[in-house]
A and B are shown apart, each in its own frame.
Chain A
């Protein structure tokens, strides 16, 4: 009897091809689409989101002759992902909800659903790969550097690697689309969605205005200051800014200015020239490991933002609670709330949520 795989299907081309490929390979495919939020929150009787995407997933499954279900994960997604997103911006950080969705919603809550239907495997359309090294399953970067999504996957529970399938991770997007056409999938030419699924038109401030109190500091006016304390002007709320951002700052400084730091307690947005963005060390908390914890002093590569450079680094601290690394080259614009992900070549070692970044090396903890 073939092994059952639960395929998380967004209605996009990547997860559609994932389902089709696994079925072709002989798996007993069960497609599910997660309902994560209510687009129609103002219409209580019609709590439906992304109807068309769900319909696409259902139709792909019908074409493949496999079952499809919609799972209502609104409550847990709201608790673990959405509320955190709002809270992080309120505290002056720049969260990545996709990381927490993978960590909690997909690879914990959805895995529990897989258990309930005796699915040995769980699959998604992420561009990452799995391999076995020294007898252990490891997560690798996607083959296509332009599509690699391993940066978003560092937080998944390590045991899940033993049952995870990412079949499109070996491909480029074009190869995935070609496979979709070969399978005759209706989603073959669907445009890419780069937005956060619950942030329409990329306007995260509108979401915050809806979900934070009107007098929340993150949405109040504050001062735009230089590092030496000069006031350059005012801003309309620090939640509109992220470290490294240039847009929306007052001019007149004589050179382009960038956000260096957000100080939520004083509502100050600290700015400076591009050179002042450079950082040589990064610290992270809320850590997860997908491989043996690297030793202090070990040389690794790190990535501090999606599609960011792969930067050589040295481990200063690595344990269950925190990571400190010294960067081998200076990196501009390291935003608290983003992810610090550690790699050994293509292998994802683990990661954490960035708490701070320093201009010099962070102090090495006493052994």
Chain B
């Protein structure tokens, strides 16, 4: 029996889009120059890089000089948190503030701040994974260097009220960073009106390749660089610029913004279809953060009496590819710090699967996935009862 593959892991990564790949190709081969070179090939590359920066900036509502290309979302998050803290520690702002449901790139950056003598603060989240604005505000004071809250959570899809949280941080005179890796292309925003200081995006969630991201750095905000070297990107991010990847990111960002409204409506309908089929087949299935505002592409579901690791293996053998909480480097499915912070009981959390939709999703695949999940979950429960 052969199966068509169903890919339900768009929050992990996405395929490079044809338009993106085509735009990138010349900059690998015939137009391979180093943007720092003064000759013709160098000038061409420099112009392509500047143009890519402008195009990414336009999708954010930013000035081109506010866009810093990086190697990935993790680098952007590290630069945003650690770079902002290091630049302010001499001025007495020793603290960073975040939430327990951040991506490891932000959590580990906060821990690094502690190792360097700073302090970290975490504002708890509700059972639906929502940060309370007042509780957040209470932790913003004149000792706070930077606050970092992810706009859309990568595991459960919950959306935070970033504009309100930003206002709280700004009142205290602190910088505000948001990891918008899962939000970009799903949530409309304009940095001309939203006073966030630092914002992370990542290419490979948008149809650009793995290995490129960007950090928006508002004019007037100083970060201490993580890397030390040449004067590329105003000295903020030394290292020869990755011209083809910057070009690819620009195209992917433009497509994501242009398609956003239609994509959001499409994915929301697909997710509704998926969730209602799962609940119809498994009425006691738990959809995490369901009471909160969620981005349309993620659903995180626990089926009591099953464990995600086994279910994901059985699903993959039937051609359905999804994720558990968070994978450790060995490839084992680890426990989810996000669900734990939301107060989800361990026996429910251990059954949590993240199904994330995107360009490769359609109704046929969604229906097949829902049917197979329900069948396997019923079987798993039957086995567990023996």
List residues of A whose CB falls within 8 A of some B CB. Answer: 1, 30, 32-33, 35, 45-51, 54, 58, 67, 69-72, 112-113, 115-117
Contact = CB atoms under 8 A, between A and B. Distances in A.
Contacts of B334: 47, 72
B333 interface: yes
Interface in B271-330: 309-311, 313-314, 316-317, 328-330
Nearest to A68: B331
B317 A58 contact: no
A47 B328 contact: yes
Contacts of A47: 328, 334
Q: What are the nearest 8 A-B pairs in CB distance? A: A72-B332, A70-B331, A35-B332, A70-B332, A48-B329, A48-B330, A116-B310, A69-B313
B371 to A, nearest CB: 17
B313 A117 contact: yes
B368 interface: no
A113 B333 CA distance: 14
Given A45-B104, A116-B313, A116-B314, 14 more contacts: A30-B313, A35-B330, A48-B328, A48-B330, A51-B329, A54-B331, A69-B331, A70-B332, A72-B333, A72-B334, A112-B310, A113-B310, A116-B311, A116-B379
B104 A116 contact: no
Given A35-B332, A49-B330, A115 B383 contact: yes
A116 B332 contact: no
Name, among B317, B332, B333, B380, the residue most crowded by chain A CB atoms within 10 Å (CB to CB): B332
Interface residues of B, number: 23
14 contacts: A30-B317, A35-B332, A45-B104, A45-B108, A45-B111, A49-B330, A58-B331, A67-B316, A72-B309, A112-B383, A113-B310, A113-B313, A117-B313, A117-B317
A47 B311 CA distance: 22
Contacts of A45: 104, 107-108, 111
A152 B94 CA distance: 57
A71 B334 CA distance: 10
A230 B104 CA distance: 61
- Say whether chain A's binding surface is mostly helix, strand, loop, or mixed: mixed
Among B1, B314, B317, B331, the most chain A Cβ lie within 10 Å of the Cβ of: B331
A55 to B, nearest CB: 9
Contacts of A49: 330
A280 B266 CA distance: 78
Interface string B1-40: 1000000000000000000000000000000000000000
A146 to B, nearest CB: 32
Interface of B: 1, 104, 107-108, 111, 309-311, 313-314, 316-317, 328-334, 376, 379-380, 383
Contact of B330 (A54, A113, A115): A54
A1 B1 CA distance: 9
Contact of A51 (B310, B317, B330): B330
A238 B130 CA distance: 54
A34 to B, nearest CB: 9
Contacts of A32: 313
Contacts of B333: 72
Contact of B328 (A46, A50, A115, A116): A46
Looking at B108, B111, B316, B328, the one whose CB has the most chain A CB atoms below 10 A away is B328
Nearest to A38: B328
A205 B256 CA distance: 58
B145 to A, nearest CB: 22
A71 B317 CA distance: 15
A213 B104 CA distance: 33
A153 to B, nearest CB: 24
Contacts of A117: 310, 313-314, 317
B40 to A, nearest CB: 44
B310 A70 contact: no
Contacts of B329: 46, 48, 51
Nearest to B380: A116
A59 to B, nearest CB: 12
Contacts of B317: 30, 67, 117
A117 B312 CA distance: 10
Contacts of B311: 116
Of A50, A67, A72, most B-chain CB atoms within 10 Å: A72
A48 B330 CA distance: 6
A329 to B, nearest CB: 46
Contacts of A115: 383
Contacts of A1: 1
A114 to B, nearest CB: 10
Nearest to A115: B383
A70 to B, nearest CB: 4
A134 to B, nearest CB: 28
Nearest to B307: A116
Given A113-B313, A116-B383, A117-B314, A71 B332 contact: yes
A304 B334 CA distance: 39
B193 to A, nearest CB: 37
A48 B310 CA distance: 19
